[in-house]
Amino acid sequence: MSRVLVIEDERGILGLIEAALVRSGHDVETAVDGREGMAAFDRGDFDVVITDCVMPEADGEDVLRHIRNNRRRAVPVIGMSGTPDLLREDGFDAVLVKPFPLSRLLNAVSAVCPGDVAEAAA
């Protein structure tokens, strides 16, 4: 089981992702914007961070930069965006273009968390 931080400003999408991860056996914490997500990262101990790339105020690039400048810089970061032309892959361990099947998300989490045996949900 991995400890996952999900940062997404669209609450409906956030709820779907959280439910899929929990159903697959992950321990999940959520944040509704980049600033809240960076604060949660600083407070917690996560195996992977999943962040939307396009958010007001602090976006996914800000989150990624914050993590890479942290003492826990090796934590894998998965970026996701519904605007693929704005999704830069630099620095992200994996990228997902919305909409994506939840199985693709779960596979990405398993790929960046060696030893993770959570089963992909359809």
Q: What is the pLDDT along the chain (122 residues), one digit of tens a residue?
A: 899 999 999 999 999 999 999 999 999 999 999 999 999 999 999 999 999 999 988 999 999 999 999 999 999 999 998 887 766 667 899 999 999 999 999 999 999 986 654 444 33
Predicted model pTM:
0.91
Measure the CA angle with vertex 118, ends 117 and 120; round to 5°: 125
Q: What is the pLDDT of residues 3-14, one digit of tens each?
A: 999 999 999 999
Measured in Å, how far apart are the chain's first and last C-alpha atoms?
Answer: 18
- Domains annotated for the chain, with CATH where assigned, are 3-112 (3.40.50.2300)
